[in-house]
A = this chain, B = another copy of it.
Amino acid sequence: MTATTTTAAKAGPRTMNLVQAVGDALAVAMAADERVVLLGEDIGKFGGVFRATAGLHERFGADRVIDTPLNEAGIIGTAVGMALYGMRPVPEIQFSDFIYPGFDHIVNELAKYRYRSGGQFTCPVTIRTPVGGGIRGGHYHSQSPEAYFIHTPGLKVVCPSTPYDAKGLLLASIRSDDPVLFLEPKPIYRKAIGEVPAGDYEVPLGQARVAREGDDVTLVAWGAMVPVCEEAATRLSGEGIECAVIDPRTLWPLDLDAITERVERSGRCVIVHEAPRTCGFGAEIAALVQERCFLHLEAPVTRVTGFDVPFPHTLEHAYLPSVARVVDAVEASLRY
């Protein structure tokens, strides 16, 4: 793809990949609001290990694109302090697998500051971090930690699957007055390509995207599992089975209506995610769907997920949900 430069971009939409869309959103947010600062390991001169911040150090300077020491607690903790000051910090955690040294700051400080102060102090911090596997990353460069954050009251959790959504949701996240975990699906950083409007726009938090309509089975997936489900849906369509594919985009607060509306029609729901099955976000969606759609269900809500093992290396493709596994689950649901 040919990405034009940021200034030229004013002219119209550009075709770009997901990580470029992230960088574009950061540039737009920083140009529009001086309070937006980025911080993280190797994000400055080096431009980030995935190049998400490439060019921003040159453009906005070392005071706004801040290279930090290797200390995730320090990165997130100081971001909380900056937010208390009135800034809108956007820390990057190089891989979500390394977010846990900062977990206390996320769940006990960032998520609770508004509540514990009765709304007097707010923490508009957007933590960007790549998630997902299948890129030969092993245990520590492949994880999908969304459930930990969804379970934590006070956090919003976002995970785009298209360049358009990545840019619009990141802008909305940065401008939201709430803390946002912005999970970037790194397996499709470069594979997800699409048109992205130039300049400023937001995709509102809390609204699902319907990637595909279909009344036989309702598929729910996010991040890199969306294209997997789309491919499964295409394949199934060839057999006369029509699946809806719902991409919540904002994982929490979930746009539950977008799902239940369709499950009420289809009576069948399959949830697909990379994270280990047990206590994953799929469990919550299954619990909610059977609570809301009980009388419409023709089959149990099922899940196609990672296994309950640490993320493997050589066998990562056996671990990850595949098109074949999704197809099987849809067929099993229809046979039930």
Q: Given contacts A140-B108, A147-B151, is CB(A303)–CB(B278) below 8 Å?
A: no
Give me the interface of A with B, judged by CB distance under 8 Å.
73, 97, 100-101, 103-104, 107-108, 111-112, 115-116, 139-140, 147-148, 150-154, 252, 275-276, 278-284, 286-287, 290-292, 294, 297, 299-303, 307-310, 336
Q: Given contacts A104-B101, A150-B278, A279-B151, is CB(A300)–CB(B310) below 8 Å?
A: no
**Option from B100, B104, B282, B290 in Cβ contact (under 8 Å) with A301:** B290
Q: Which residue of B lies closest to A109 (CB)?
A: B100
A sample of 14 inter-chain contacts (CB < 8 A) reads A97-B108, A100-B103, A103-B104, A112-B139, A115-B310, A150-B278, A151-B278, A151-B279, A252-B278, A283-B283, A286-B290, A291-B301, A292-B300, A294-B299
- Which of chain B's residues have a CB closer than 8 A to the CB of A97? 108
Q: Separation in Å of the A128 CB from the closest CB of chain B?
A: 19
Structural contact, A287 and B308, CB atoms closer than 8 A? no
**Option from B150, B153, B283 in Cβ contact (under 8 Å) with A284:** B283
Q: Which residue of B lies closest to A308 (CB)?
A: B153
Q: Which residue of B lies closest to A154 (CB)?
A: B310
- Which of chain B's residues have a CB closer than 8 A to the CB of A287? 282-283, 286-287, 290, 301, 303
The answer for the CA separation of A308 and B115 in the assembled complex, in Å, is 11
Q: Separation in Å of the A192 CB from the closest CB of chain B?
A: 26
**Option from B139, B151, B300, B302 in Cβ contact (under 8 Å) with A280:** B151
The answer for the CA separation of A112 and B153 in the assembled complex, in Å, is 27
Structural contact, B284 and A278, CB atoms closer than 8 A? yes
The answer for the CA separation of A143 and B11 in the assembled complex, in Å, is 52
The answer for the CA separation of A276 and B103 in the assembled complex, in Å, is 17
- Which of chain B's residues have a CB closer than 8 A to the CB of A115? 139, 309-310
- Which of chain B's residues have a CB closer than 8 A to the CB of A292? 300
11 further A-B contacts with Cβ under 8 Å, apart from A150-B278, A294-B297, are A73-B101, A100-B104, A111-B310, A116-B310, A147-B279, A151-B278, A153-B307, A154-B310, A279-B284, A286-B286, A286-B290
Q: Which 5 pairs across A and B sit closest by C-beta, in order of nearness?
A: A100-B104, A151-B279, A286-B287, A283-B283, A294-B300
